[in-house]
Amino acid sequence: MKFIKRNTDLKEIQHYLETFPAVAILGARQCGKTTIAREFEFDHYFDLENPVDLSRLDNPKLALENITGLIIIDEIQLKPDLFPLLRYLIDNHPKQKYLILGSASRDLIRQSSESLAGRIAYYELGGFRIHDFTMKNNGALWMRGGYPKSVLAHSETESTEWREQYIKTFLERDIPMLGIRIPAHTLRRFWTMISHYHGQLLNHAELGRSFGISDMTVRKYLDILESTFMIRILQPWHINIGKRLVKRPKIYLRDSGIFHTLTSIENVDQLHSNPKLGVSWEGFALEAVCRSIGKQPNSVYFWRTSNGAELDLYWQAKGQNWGVEFKYADAPKLTKSMKIANEDLNLSHLWVVYPGTDCYSLTKNISALPFENVSSTWDYSN
């Protein structure tokens, strides 16, 4: 399989390693955490899915106390009791640095790693970024998703088969390994059902009625999928502007390839003739922008009024307000909704991201931005 060097992620992780004694790379299974960790010059590597390495850490103090350099511990969520020891080792062995990898979310890891407060940085690794490839590969990245083995597969059929097996393994092995006891077929049906709500407002009661479960069970299932990086729950932005605002969150499947598999879209022709074409592209582009602006998941929002004015993505940076609207169109035009969002949210700039090739202004601070121009480091100078 072709090797793709992920320069943006490597640079950001290296920065954290130079600043903190411990760095946690978090992300979904098979997103490339191990591959990118091995790009660094490490001295010791422990893979907790390897029985030999796991047994070496039966007595972790003896195994770790007398070694130096960069120490990588893979699948840290399988041995969360290591964190208190890591604090002791970091405080008493300045020649040690730790790079730990986990398939559980930042929140789940943080519950176990509270003792490392001030000593650890968290880096969330997704699939491939759009600029990890030449531009001509963006279509494949959209169709197949960002998981390396999916997007780099030799054929569409091979990619589809890999994603099917990924979903099966995730449900039958990975979820139980996190201590979650839900039948695989039940969670698969739920996951498939919510794929049809991709890009829509989240209604727990409606989901519960559709699936025949309680609101609390819906929340539990959603929390599992969110904490394992499968879905994004995008919260609404609330400000007191004298308008009635939508206060329910929106839901997105984070990987476009997984979304296509769950909705039985197997190739580009099927995608372009599917009524979910627009919402598929919106979710794909939204995930790319969220990664490019470098904000944490709880720091990005959408905005919508009860009268229908909306903004797909909103965040604050550099002491100012910014927004993105996603349009699957050849040449997006200025809309009333954009003007309302721009005025009500006091945006410094609103970009309309679309799959075309030309950059152009719609107003003084609203402009059309081709998807391929979404930079790895967001440009706030517009």
Rounded CA separation 86/22 (Å) = 9
CATH 3.40.50.410 fits 7-124, yes or no: no
218 contacts 211 by C-beta, under 8 angstroms: yes
Cα distance between residue 153 and residue 166, in whole Å: 13
Confidence (pLDDT) at 268: 92
Burial of 137 (0-12, 13-18, 19+ CB in 10 A): middle
Report the 10 Å Cβ neighbour count for 147.
24
Tell me which residue of 76, 77, 73, 83 sits closest to 45, measured CA to CA. 73
- Amino acid in the structure at residue 330: D
Helix, strand, coil tally for the chain in percent (to 5):
45, 20, 35
- Residue 323: phi and psi, rounded to 5, are -150, 155
Encoded tokens for 224: 């599992």
- The dihedral region occupied by 29, where left means phi > 0, alpha psi between -120 and 50, and beta the remainder, is beta
Residue 121, amino acid: A
Q: How far apart are CA 44 and CA 38, in angstroms?
A: 11
Query: What's the pLDDT at 135?
Result: 46
pTM of this structure: 0.92
What integer pLDDT is reported at residue 5 of this predicted model? 86
What CATH number was assigned to the domain covering residues 130-373? Answer: 1.10.10.10
Q: Given the DSSP bridges, would you call strands 347-354 and 366-370 parallel, antiparallel or unpaired?
A: parallel
Identify the CA nearest to 146 among candidates 250, 284, 262: 284
Buried b (16+ CB within 10 A) or exposed e, 255-278: bbbbbbbbbebbeeeebeeeebee
> Are the C-beta atoms of 268 and 157 separated by less than 8 Å?
no
| pLDDT tens per residue across all 382 residues of the chain | 567 889 999 999 999 999 999 999 999 999 999 999 999 999 999 999 999 999 999 999 999 999 999 999 999 888 888 988 999 999 999 999 999 998 876 666 766 677 788 899 989 999 998 888 754 566 789 999 999 999 999 999 999 999 999 999 999 998 888 778 899 999 999 999 999 999 999 999 999 999 999 999 999 999 999 999 999 999 999 865 556 777 899 999 999 999 999 999 999 999 999 999 999 999 999 999 999 998 888 899 999 988 888 999 999 998 999 999 999 999 999 999 999 999 999 999 999 999 999 999 999 999 999 998 887 556 665 5
Sign, Cα dihedral of 73, 77, 79, 81: positive
Q: Where are the domains of the chain?
A: 7-124, 130-373
Q: Which residues of 230-239 are buried (b: 16+ CB within 10 A; e: fewer)?
A: bbbebbbbee
Residue found under tokens 């780099």: 152
DSSP state of 237: P
Residue 144 token pair? 């197949």
Q: In what order do the strands lie in the sheet with 44-47?
A: 44-47, 69-74, 96-102, 22-26, 120-124
Please tell me if the domain spanning 7-124 has the same topology as the one spanning 130-373: no
> Which tokens go with 230?
């499968």
Crossing angle of helices 184-195 and 156-169, in 10° steps, is 130
CA torsion through residues 355, 330, 302, 261, sign: negative
The C-alpha angle 108, 37, 371, rounded to 5 degrees, equals 80
The residues, ordered by sequence, that sit 6+ positions from 259 with a Cβ below 8 Å of its Cβ are: 145, 195, 198, 253, 280, 283
Find all residues with CB under 8 Å of 45, minimum gap 6, and list them.
Answer: 38, 53, 71, 72, 74
